[in-house]
Structure 1
């Protein structure tokens, strides 16, 4: 469903935001502040970071997406288009945050190297492929009338989004000197995901330039060199162009991946990077408290509307 009904924000604004984040400097207190305690669950791989509490929970996100599908399908039925309805969303498989940091199970890399280490594709992609041209036009509003009925302004996707956000429509959101302006078809889950991902990205960029992270990268590179592999960073190892030529990993790829995971464990790579990024997240939360408070308040309204729709 995301392909056709997900948020539509200003791509230019978000791109500019990410560029601004990458160029921004760090204040001394950000750079040298104590990272504090960070929880990494060794059994599940779950990492608990400060910004996590501001993301929508998987259960609430499912409610929002179910409501989006229900409202969109109702709009389509009202227009007398009943075929190929949006499927009822299901709970996404929760990915371990370790994937974000390029830390994968040793048993997995021994078998697959770096392959199959990315998040599974959206199951709604198959639905999107089957959507007709007419259905797409009704969803985005490019078709103004259908079978004698007026199509809602912006299409059924916009109808669903605006119904969910009635009484708490988002305004321009300022982050790091830039702004994100949701358009009329922006959906609640899309807005929250875009804003929170931008905030998290900004802290990740800052942590990458932190001396503590640079130090652990150097230790990792030295460990890899001892194993016979020369890479400047974990990203360089995972994205080696030689891994993209076939579906099955080569012996070299699996050897590099196994050494990579071993070196990350040896130098405490994950602990260091997560601790540093969490310190930047706490700093950002303090700076962005009005934005986060406003987003949380609006999301409660959106969720109430979603639950009302789903429970009809």
Structure 2
């Protein structure tokens, strides 16, 4: 049985709600304040992203660490549901990726992969047991209420009538949840936590105390750096040169980020003979115009600025990540 959308969104809700002093980056980067692009010095010629180190990577978690935390959250959900008399095992998280590298951070860059697989990614993790995974029996309506903290059927009916109740003022941390008024929903003599067992599990892992850093903080910094880099004049120039190189090879596409959609490569045809031909041209053009070297130099410069500006918050984030991993290890046994 798939997790309800409300539960799947629990971590994101915590992330959006349990923000801290740290979720703002102040007045912007020094480059922004001066209206200038950051200096990058000489640009190294690169034909691959393998082995490249990015400033923000030091604060990211591995796919195995993410997997362990998701397993721990499932255990917390199970423990919570049992308090109310329900046997419920959330679907197992996807196994950790076999490849934590940045091999495709700027799109396809390996000439060998292009020639063998086109745009298909042979390193992408698959779960061979997914198709055979036993379907869980559906929860009763009351069980769904305990899991989600709301009667989903009643909520849907209210929405049809335009009478959706205002959302509860949900606590932003587990410490606040333990002191705040409950949901008012009683099941088997106990009050369901605000947001149900799904939200309780997320709070315990991602926001145990007030002042917990947004779990998406590092991700958002990386996305901000990438966005700035893509708008940087040096990257735009490299992209234009790559596009012209592709046109010279007979392919009209505006950017390596949109090459597959621009040229109509569907998911099932990423390793077709046509896809392989395009992929080989793509990689060759990236090397010819030093697209990878330019993207890396520019994006690293923006990441470095953001790391410097958010050093205090990132240190707190790192400590809280270690605390979360220790709790996950205890829960997973």
Distance change (3 Å), C-alpha of 1:121 and 1:139: farther
Give the 3 Å change call, closer, same or farther, for CA 294–109 of structure 1 in structure 2.
Answer: same
Q: Structure 1 residue aligned with 2:40, among 17, 31, 34?
A: 34
Greater CA deviation, 89-98 or 44-53? 89-98
RMSD value, Cα: 4.0
Q: 263, 272, 285: which one pairs with 2:294? A: 272
Bigger Cα displacement from structure 2, 110-119 vs 229-238: 110-119
May I ask how many residue pairs the two structures share in their alignment? Answer: 281
More helix, by proportion:
1
Counterpart in the other structure of 1:168? 209
Distance in 1 between the 2:43 and 2:56 partners?
Answer: 14
Stretches of structure 1 lacking an aligned partner (at least 5 in a row): 18-23, 174-190
How high is the TM-score relative to the length of structure 1?
Answer: 0.72
Alpha carbons 2:116, 2:276 under 8 Å: kept: yes
Indicate if the aligned counterparts of 1:204 and 1:277 stay in contact, CA closer than 8 A: yes
Describe the shift of the 1:274–1:124 C-alpha distance in structure 2 as closer, same or farther (beyond 3 A).
farther
* 1:205 aligns to 2:246 (yes or no): no
> What is the 5 A alignment of 1:56-205?
56-87=61-92, 90-110=95-115, 112-115=117-120, 132=138, 134=140, 136-143=144-151, 144-164=185-205, 168-170=209-211, 191-192=214-215, 194-205=216-227
Q: CA deviation at 1:125?
A: 8.6
Shift of residue 203 of structure 1? 0.8
SS in structure 2 at match of 1:286: helix
CA 37–122 in structure 1, closer or farther in 2 if over 3 Å, else same: farther
| Partner of residue 246, structure 2 | 224
- C-alpha separation between the residues in 2 aligned to 1:267 and 1:299? 39
Q: TM-score scaled to structure 2, two decimals?
A: 0.68
